[in-house]
Copies of this chain bind each other. A is one copy, B any other.
Amino acid sequence: MKTIIDGLYKAFENRVRLGIMAALAVNETLEFTALKEYLDVTDGNLASHMKALEKEKFVGVKKSFIDRKPNTRYYMTTQGKKAFEEHLNTLESIIKAQK
């Protein structure tokens, strides 16, 4: 049976993960520290959620060196974009049904 919550992804339920995806949806790539400051979370908290999103292949990571310093940037995968869109569209329907 199709229900109103069917288009919601377990992977995006957590508020930090929702924030990560929202930030990556409007920024091509973001550094770990930028995301951390944007969402006001600890290193450990952000790292564990990034790992979960990476595991689902919704987020990718680019490691490089800038001025010989390691630089880690995250981006949203095509798969992640599609899933996040479906998630937001479902949330939007739920919100609309309230008004």
Contact = CB atoms under 8 A, between A and B. Distances in A.
Contact of A8 (B4, B18, B88): B18
B26 A3 contact: no
A37 to B, nearest CB: 8
Nearest to A3: B40
Given A3-B39, A4-B19, A26 B91 contact: no
Contacts of A38: 3-4
A61 interface: no
Interface residues of A, number: 26
Contacts of A98: 22, 25-26, 88
A25 to B, nearest CB: 6
A63 to B, nearest CB: 26
A47 interface: no
The 5 closest A-B pairs by CB, nearest first: A8-B15, A5-B19, A5-B15, A1-B40, A3-B40
